Amino acid sequence: QHLSIVVWSHARLCFVHKPFLTATATVAAKSAARFDTQGVGNIVWAYGVLGFDDGPLTDAMLVRAAVLMDNLTAQEICNVASGLFASNRLPEIRHFLGLAAPVLLQRRTMDSNGGCASNSAQWAEVANLARAAARAGGDFAAASQLSTHFRKVFMQPVMEGLSKILRTPESAVPEAMAALQRATDAIGATHLGELYTQEALAELGFCVCTAGEAAPPAWAAEARVRCAAESLEPRAVLTTDAILAHASWDVSFGAVAFTNPGKVFRAGWSGDVAQEVKEMLQPLRQHPKRDAHPERLALLELFDGLLRDRGGGPMSQTLSACAGSMELYVTQHPCVSCLAVLCQAQRRCPSVSIAVAFDSSWPQRPVGRRQ
């Protein structure tokens, strides 16, 4: 337990001390039978995050995880799977998820509304890791089982809510947001993970790419570089203040053009934006609060600029008459609340094309490990 806590602390600090990690791996592998469930999850996750792959340690901990499988929490299963994926241990993650999937599926609990009572974040992480492993090495039973459950319990209700926002009459957008709020409250969904978010955006009609793909669009590659230059100290667990967005747009309303060649947005409060503008891009009420996310701040700045120069007339009429394009890059996949904000923006500005790019959290986390 002490070994796993210290290594976990190193990982949280993104601090690589090779002699210590080597010595710890040797001792931990020999005493794997003494590790409890939390210790197994922590140490596999930590070595994966630090990019320090030790074969004997991983093998020993996977044997111990198999023994403890029925007692592993969803978070501990997620930690082991995340550590294996970060270490590029694809055969091991396929084997581990093959053992873990029946446990997760059997243990899932449903509340009175039919939604998952808890562990939605862990389900999103595990489902995305399984899908990534299937993409890399071919489909396998556990990936299909996890995908089927995740789609039915989590993704389907979210997509129904987002589609309603996008396609409902503008006057009914607040009720559509309320319906999505009720759905996410019931299932506890805060995000869909990297791969399912990419799928969701494409299904909703947005132009979407991942900035880390082999040949990303030039705007996404440039935005990634600019955000990296302004990023905070590397950390192993992402927080709101560590997520950046880069937005550019070229939007016109009649003869009035509103152009932004590119700006980095950090999470914060939009104090200069009129309240009536904020109400047009409502976040979901979730913990932690979602109204300060950088994606929303970028869209608020765009809307505020368009509406300040509109002259007279209803705001909705001005926005619906706008045309042009916006390009939005985020250093992490958008959460469900930010997807809802994007859908509200697209619904209110149907002639403004919105392209979205984001990075995968694992290859980018942590950036610049300290030696």
pLDDT in tens, 55-104: 999 999 999 999 999 999 999 999 999 999 999 999 999 999 999 999 99
pLDDT digits (tens, 9 = 90+) for 198-254: 999 999 999 998 756 668 899 999 999 999 898 766 555 566 778 999 999 999 988
Give this prediction's pTM. 0.91
Classify residue 51 as left (phi > 0), alpha (psi -120 to 50) or beta.
left
Binned at pLDDT 50, 70 and 90, residue 170 comes out as confident
Rounded CA-CA distance 10/19 in Å is 13
Adjacent-strand bridge partners of 258: 251
Residue 169 has phi, psi (to 5 degrees) of: -55, 145
Q: Please give the full DSSP string across 97-143, using - where no structure is assigned.
A: HHHHHHHHHHH--B-TTSSB-S-HHHHHHHHHHHHHHHHHH---HHH
pLDDT at 311: 66
The residues, ordered by sequence, that sit 6+ positions from 223 with a Cβ below 8 Å of its Cβ are 211, 246, 248, 262, 327, 329, 357
Yes or no: say if 116 and 154 are a contact pair by the CB < 8 Å rule.
yes
Backbone CA torsion sign across 180, 183, 186, 188: negative
Mean pLDDT over 331-351 rounds to 96
Amino acid at 236: A
Adjacent-strand bridge partners of 18: none
Which 3 state secondary structure label does DSSP give 81? Answer: helix
The residues, ordered by sequence, that sit 6+ positions from 338 with a Cβ below 8 Å of its Cβ are 283, 290, 293, 295, 296, 330
